[in-house]
Structure 1
Amino acid sequence: MPRRRAYAGSGASLISRRSFLGGVAAALGGLMLGGCGVTSLAAERLVVDFWNLFGGGDGARLDEMERAFRESRPEVRLNSTTLAWGAPYYTKLAMSAVGGRPPDVAILHQSRLAAYAPAGLLEPLDPQLLSEFDMGPDSFLPEVLEASRYEGEIYAIPLDTHPFVQYYNTDICKEAGLLGPDGELKPLEGPDAVIDALKRAKEVTGDLGLSFYPADDAGPWRLWYTLYGQLDGEAILSPDAREVTLDEEKALRAVEFMVALAQDAEVVRANIDYGGSVAQFLSGRAGFHWNGEWEVTTYLEADLPFSMLPFPNVFGENHVSQADRHTFVIPTQSSRDPRSMEAALEFISSMLKSSLIWAKGGHIPAYLPVANSDEYRELKPQSNYAGVADNVVIDPIAWFSGSGSTMEQRASAAFQSAMAGGISPRQAVVRLRTILQELVNIPKPI
């Protein structure tokens, strides 16, 4: 086993991974001998405190991956804590770092990096040290790793990409004449072709062509940002997030398509929330479902006849879809035992190596040894959209941006109003620009 350079904290000396783990194992071995040294030796056991926001199926898969680490590293105690998704999680994570008592490892959406790295809340990670723990640059797609940098430094280790995708009911689409000879969905390109397919599916179901969730805090944003990206829209904010640079005409085209789905083609209802959209597709009341890929196990467990593909190429200029990534980060601590950093990296490395388990929940693994494996390629329908991992649009870089953010919620409300017929598409775009300008004008909280 090669010697590995340990993290060098303030005044810390460098130690090898072997001496680190060997010393801890020897200390634990001493416990079995009994005697008066038990209490002091027990205090030497390394602890990794890990915070995450995963519930449901993701939480169950995370537990399985954590068990693999515990079994392989019994000399390290892993404390895993699951907190409420969204703003509660990110507020607590930021406050813990500011207060000097953060976890050793935490999950961070990549779109949230701009709110944490500039504020000094995360440790920059040495690429050489990451390589020593089998997480070097060659372990990730260049585009995926690049999005984990801030001002040239690596601050996050990507676990996955979770894109906006298209589900389709194979029985309904077959009856609608939408499947090819191979039993797969025929390519859908262009707004007319997409809406025509949704209408044909609606004729079969007698209800809806598309299951989607306009009445949601994030759904309309995911759809709009996908469409805006496909139009090759300019970044909606300047690189320093101090100026709104929205391309209003392309923004309008995206909103107009969303409104057409609900108002003109009437293939989707504007008053459906997230849970309702899942229920619609699950019950066969819609031929298509637009959502993140994370509901795949819901439909597999229900034995639903369905498959999945990348989101359709509606506008044809740039076949992208909105996405985010879960990453591992190491929050800044006022002081850190160098052995603690090594234990944290050992834990993250173990989780990446177990990420085929994670991929079963729909997420595209970021770790190339897993993503390029035969086992993942054979995982269906999850691997059908794996090719989009390096061709996605992530929320703009700003402290107020990212998954579960105020920006997503307020923008989604504007788009939902347009889809429901309350305001015109042009008014929705004006409202979007106003929202962005208001957020840009707010001083950074940290």
Structure 2
Amino acid sequence: MRLFKTLLLGTALTLGAMPALAKETVIWWDFLSGGDGVRMKALIDGFNKEHPDIQIQGTTLEWGVPFYTKVRTASAVGEGPDVMTYHLSRAPLGLEENVLSEITNEDLATAELKRSDFFEAPIDAATKDGKLYAVPFDIHALILYYNADLLEGSPYLDANGKLTGINSIEDFDAALAWAKEKGVETPVTYQTGGEGGVWRVFYTLLSQQGGEFVTNGEVLSGDNAEKAAKAIDIMSKWRENGWAPEQAEYEASVALFSAGKSAFQLNGVWEVPTFKDLEKSGKLGFKWGAVEVPALLGKRATWADSHAFAIPNEGDKTISGEKRAAVMTVIGWMEKHAIGWADAGHIPAYKAVTTSDEYKAMEPNATYASLAEAAVFDPKTTITGVASPAYDAALNIIAPAIQGYMSGADAVEQIKADLQDKLQ
């Protein structure tokens, strides 16, 4: 009897020591800093509070090459995360390196999602041979910011102070000339001295002509070369006329606009919170807005990329069972709560959020959300995308060309010579 009581007591103590719910820990890696990092941390905290049975353990790594190098090496030896953020422009390289695990329809069903829930462009960017390898979280793209105060009295503001009358490159050039004549220091600002800003503007102008950077395994073949040269020459003219800054680094290019020294800024949606915060604190001394980049060269098109959620392979395997179900639960929750991510300026890829009344009330976000239907992602190659050889070419070839060191045509020949052999 004493032994029986002892066994009962031991069993009771063991049960009492167990948690009320067994937890599934999801190892999460991202590259998100600044405002993006703050917002993602809030989303992770929100998920963890609602899901005592699944807990995200997050780690933030350095953006760009360091992140993707870490992912590749960790995945190869089976020490990667359970889920990670991933730029869709990097998906072709990730697939070549066998990093990305296929997201099946069954996986999506676990997350209570389906492909048709998302905008077409990011789903296409995440797909190869009909198979999905990441779940898009947003569309982040180039947009056109404008200073309404500096444009006061011009033909480029309507009665409500909204941008109007810019429907071609001639219209835009005329607006820049008008601003210069009125004493605006730098009519249009963008990152002229860095790979990211140069590539995004160049690729937008190329795409608006119907041009393609890579076709049939060739870089800027056929009339794509002429279209690329025209894009570069337009950017060069902006600099030559004193309309755009000389070799501006990213921070300096943003500061020109926030200080009221530029009538326009070509930059990503991610700077929207910067100007909202400055406006709220009373440190922004002008009215501003942001719109989809107008069809300056005949076609609605703008450079875009997506942050997405991906599951890395672990060597020759991938996570399965309850762990994979937990990961998909995380992804599904994040998509349905993407309004918290939209606050960072991004356009949610999950259409139910973008079409919601809450999102429609967000400005200028709701105004430029139209670009989701005109987004142009980088080609599906291993030489393009974030921290790629194409970005290197933007810095080392296109940037010098727009500073007057060579013509657009000569720059194109150098780009082709530099990148063709790297294209596999």
TM-score of the two chains, using structure 1 as the length reference: 0.86
Instruction: Give 2:312's match in structure 1, choosing from 309, 331, 334.
Output: 331
Tell me the amino acid that sits aligned with residue 357 of structure 2: D
Say which of 324, 328, 350 aligns to 1:367.
Answer: 350
2:41 to 41, 58, 63: 63
Which of the residues 342, 345, 368 maps onto 1:385?
368
In 1: Cα distance, 2:62 partner to 2:182 partner: 40
TM-superposed deviation, 1:77: 2.1
- Alpha carbons of 1:43 and 1:377: their partners in 2 closer, same or farther (altered >3 Å)? closer
Question: Following TM superposition, by how much is the alpha carbon of 1:40 offset from its aligned partner in structure 2, in angstroms?
Answer: 7.5
Match of 2:219 in 1: 244
Q: In the alignment, what sits opposite 2:59?
A: 81
Percent identical among aligned pairs is 30
1:41 to partner: Cα distance: 6.4
Indicate which of 386, 390, 408 corresponds to 1:403: 386
What is the CA distance between 1:213 and its match in structure 2?
1.2
| Count of residue pairs brought into register by the alignment | 404
Amino acid at match of 2:45: R
* Residue 398 of structure 2 is aligned to residue 421 of structure 1: no
Tell me how far apart the structure 2 counterparts of residues 94 and 175 of structure 1 sit (CA, whole Å). Answer: 54
Q: Which residue of the partner structure matches residue 311 of structure 1?
A: 293
Give the aligned residue type for 2:243.
V
| C-alpha distance 93-188 of structure 1, shift in aligned 2 (>3 A) | same
Give the SS at the match of 2:152. Answer: helix
- Shift of the alpha carbon at 1:198? 1.4
Q: Would the alpha carbon gap of residues 339 and 142 (structure 1) be closer, same or farther in structure 2, given more than 3 Å must change? A: same
Match of 2:329 in 1: 346
Map 1:35-114; keep pairs closer than 5 Å. 35-36=13-14, 45-114=23-92
Letter in 2 for 1:331: P
Whole-angstrom CA distance in 2 between matches of 1:124 and 1:394: 20
The 3 A distance-change label for structure 1 pair 270 and 69 is same
Structure 1 unmatched ranges of 5 or more? 1-32, 442-446
Q: Is the 8 A contact 1:411 1:435 kept in 2?
A: no
8 A contact 1:86–1:405 mirrored in 2: no
CA gap of 1:339–1:256, structure 2 versus 1, over 3 A, is: same
Shift in CA distance, 42/433, structure 1 to aligned 2, threshold 3 Å: farther
Q: Is contact 2:290–2:368 with CA below 8 Å preserved after alignment? A: yes
Q: Which residue of 2 aligns with 1:145?
A: 123
Q: Is 1:296 aligned to residue 272 of structure 2? A: yes
- After TM superposition, the structure 1 stretch with the greater mean CA deviation from structure 2, 287-296 or 242-251, is 242-251
Deviations 1:208-250 (A, max 9, x none): 1011111012111111110010010134243xxx433432111
User: CA 1:245–1:255 in structure 2 vs 1: closer, same or farther (change >3 Å)?
Assistant: closer
- The equivalences for 1:169-318 within 5 A come to 169-238=147-216, 242-246=217-221, 247-263=224-240, 265-303=241-279, 304=284, 305-316=287-298, 318=299
Specify whether residues 287 and 385 from structure 1 end up closer, same or farther in structure 2 by C-alpha distance, changes over 3 A only.
same
SS in 1 for 2:149: helix
Which 4+ stretches in 1 moved above 4 angstroms? 37-44
Question: After superposition, what is the alpha-carbon deviation per residue over 1:1-30, rounded to whole angstroms, capped at 9, x for unaligned?
Answer: xxxxxxxxxxxxxxxxxxxxxxxxxxxxxx
Counterpart secondary structure, 2:84: strand
- Structure 2: gaps spanning 5 or more residues: 1-10
Cα distance in 1 for partners of 2:24, 2:149 equals 54
Map of 2:5 onto structure 1: none
Would you say the 8 A contact 1:219–1:412 is kept in 2? no
1: distance between equivalents of 2:78 and 2:26?
Answer: 16
Taking the aligned partners of 2:21 and 2:76, their CA distance within structure 1 comes to 26
* Change over 3 Å in CA distance of 1:34–1:62 after alignment to 2: farther
| Contact map agreement 2:111 2:331 (CA 8 A) in 1 | no
Q: Is the 8 A contact 1:308 1:385 kept in 2?
A: yes
Instruction: Summarize the Cα distance change of 1:39–1:187 in structure 2 as closer, same or farther, 3 Å threshold.
Output: farther
| Contact 2:156–2:166 (Cα < 8 Å) also in 1 | no
Question: Is the Cα contact below 8 Å between 2:123 and 2:136 reproduced in 1?
Answer: yes
Q: Distance in 2 between matches of 1:302 and 1:41?
A: 46
Letter in 1 for 2:39: R
Secondary structure of the structure 1 residue equivalent to 2:49: helix
CA contact (8 A) 1:46 1:340 kept: yes
Asked if structure 2 preserves the Cα contact closer than 8 Å seen for 1:50 and 1:78, the reply is yes
- Counterpart code for 1:300: K
Compared CA separation, residues 177 and 338, structure 1 to 2 (3 A): same
1:202 deviation in Å? 2.7
SS of the residue corresponding to residue 312 of structure 2 reads coil
| Amino acid in the other structure paired with 1:352 | E
TM-score, length-normalised on structure 2? Answer: 0.91
Task: Show CA shifts across 1:167-194 (max 9, x none).
Answer: 0011111244420123211131222211
Counterpart of 2:291, as a letter, is L
**One-letter identity of the residue aligned with 1:307:** G
- What is the distance in 1 between the residues matched to 2:423 and 2:377? 18
Partner SS for 1:189? coil
